[in-house]
Amino acid sequence: MDKNKSAGKLWRLTKVLYFIITIPLVGLGAGALLLLQEINRGSYSSGIWINDYYIGSLYMILFLISYILLTDLIRRIISYINNGTFNGFIPYIEILKRFSILIIIIGGIISVILISLSQNLRNECTGNNEGFNDYGVCNCYEGYIRENGSCKITLEKTILNVIPYGSFLREYKEIPGENGVYIGIYIKNYEILSEGKQEYGFNGEKMPLYSDCFGNVEGQGIKGEYYLFSFKDGRILNEKEVPVGFRFNNISNNSELPKLTFSYYNTKYNNSYYFLKKEVEYNDENNFSIEKTSLINFSDYNGDGIKNEFFLVDHWDQVCGHNNYLIAGYDNKTNGVIIYGIKSKDGTTGYWGDNFIPDTKGEVVNGWNCGDHGSDTLNKTYYKFNKENNIFEYVKNENRNCTENDYK
């Protein structure tokens, strides 16, 4: 009878101890969860990421397994107290006999995974240029990209670090065959203009955006002070401010000059026709979807056979179909960006020309054809690129009255 009472007391004591031990078990489980999260941060840095949801699920599984094992242990202690045997409800020996190989394989896999992940264990983001994001994993800062486990600065971020603070980096492209030399455009004191408004035809049909004479070149533009620059190995080689078009030459005070506006977004049709000089189907609705305009499109415009030049186009306020063009590019002699001048008949030099688009020989023919906006005279001006002086020079002018043959 005394033995039964003693056993009962021990049983009750054991149950109390059981629940007391359960409390730190929860703490140990929480610690295991934190450990897994830290391992996860390190593994994310190497390109492996385990979602926090799965970590929580793994914690619950480990907790339940621990709870079952602890319950079985208490059962064996009670059995020992009652009759001197360690009987429980989990047949360990039978399980080991039946599933020994499977247990060894699973244990080995888990061990390898934990060891490999533990190589990246971190208490904090110790790499340069990275920090924890909202999910508790290490992310590279903006302007950096992860390569080989560390955060490397992007080319765009490198350029932003060397152009004037607060400028808008509009575009940059590597010059073909120049081994890491880039030409780019940035804008100071800029303003991104609003998107175009939907226009409708006489019958109420929708008209394509930016389909008027001036909007097709300007699109949704950015107004500001434009600069061309060349860049290599983290530094600016040289830069040139883009001058305002010749239609403002009568303004002597530079402070009164308007800011330039070049297309930022435009229709696929306008981008192809005006900036890439490619014919596209006008009646295809897909060609009037909006896309970003590329201002730097390399081609050969000075006749040297090297595609190092590009043009900028600005609309002319007076006549449809006549736009201003400026030719720029990379100069191998100075190893920098250059804006090519245009030397006129009277010897003055400007930078913008009416429909001034050179062919691959560096020759330009511009002016007015017979019937152009009702013109009854033909007026053409010829230019050719002078390789020694790096300038387009006036060659001759053709000016005569139109004949019937000119309209055939």
CA atoms of 118 and 32, how far apart (whole Å): 13
Residue 187 lies in a domain: yes
Instruction: Give the pLDDT band of residue 48 (cuts 50, 70, 90).
Output: very low
Structure-token pair, residue 36: 């897994």
CA atoms of 341 and 330, how far apart (whole Å): 14
pLDDT surpasses 60 at 121: no
Residue 358 is predicted with a pLDDT of 94
Residues 386 and 284 in one domain: yes
Summarize pLDDT for 297-320 with one digit per residue, the tens.
999 999 999 999 999 998 766 677
Residues 114 and 224 in one domain: no
Query: Which has the minimum average pLDDT: 147-156, 251-260, 373-382?
Result: 251-260
Structure-token pair, residue 27: 């703490």
pLDDT surpasses 50 at 47: no
Predicted structure pTM score: 0.67
Beta bridge partners of 331: 336
Instruction: Say if residues 363 and 354 touch (Cβ distance below 8 Å).
Output: no
Residues 204 and 336 in one domain: yes
Range 202-231 burial, b when 16+ CB lie within 10 A, else e: eeeeeebbbeeeebbbbbbbbbbbbbbbbb
Residues 52 and 187 in one domain: no
End of a domain among 118, 146, 163?
A: 118
Comparison of pLDDT for 87 and 30, the residue scoring more = 87
CA atoms of 323 and 325, how far apart (whole Å): 7
Residues 56 and 101 in one domain: yes
CA atoms of 217 and 226, how far apart (whole Å): 17
Count structural domains, the chain: 2
Q: Per DSSP, which regions of 268-376 are E strands? A: 290-292, 309-315, 323-331, 336-339, 341-343, 349-350, 353-354, 363-368
Summarize pLDDT for 327-346 with one digit per residue, the tens.
999 998 888 999 999 998 88
Query: Which has the minimum average pLDDT: 34-43, 213-222, 300-309, 342-351?
Result: 34-43
Residue 79 lies in a domain: yes
Instruction: Give the pLDDT band of residue 45 (cuts 50, 70, 90).
Output: very low
pLDDT surpasses 80 at 220: yes
End of a domain among 118, 145, 168?
A: 118
Q: What whole-number percentage of the chain has pLDDT above 70?
A: 73
Instruction: Say if residues 118 and 37 touch (Cβ distance below 8 Å).
Output: no
Structure-token pair, residue 361: 């020989």
Residue 126 lies in a domain: no
pLDDT surpasses 80 at 355: yes
**pLDDT, average across residues 334-362:** 91
Give 210's DSSP letter. T
In sign, the C-alpha dihedral spanning 214, 216, 217, 222 is positive
Residues 90 and 166 in one domain: no
Domain residues for the domain of 38 are: 2-118
Residue 116 is predicted with a pLDDT of 54
Instruction: Give the pLDDT band of residue 390 (cuts 50, 70, 90).
Output: very high
Query: Which has the minimum average pLDDT: 64-68, 305-309, 341-345, 389-393?
Result: 64-68
Instruction: Give the pLDDT band of residue 198 (cuts 50, 70, 90).
Output: confident
End of a domain among 99, 118, 137?
A: 118
Beta bridge partners of 118: none
pLDDT surpasses 90 at 375: no
Residue 105 is predicted with a pLDDT of 78
Q: What is the mean pLDDT of the chain?
A: 79
Query: Which has the minimum average pLDDT: 7-21, 77-91, 134-148, 341-355?
Result: 7-21
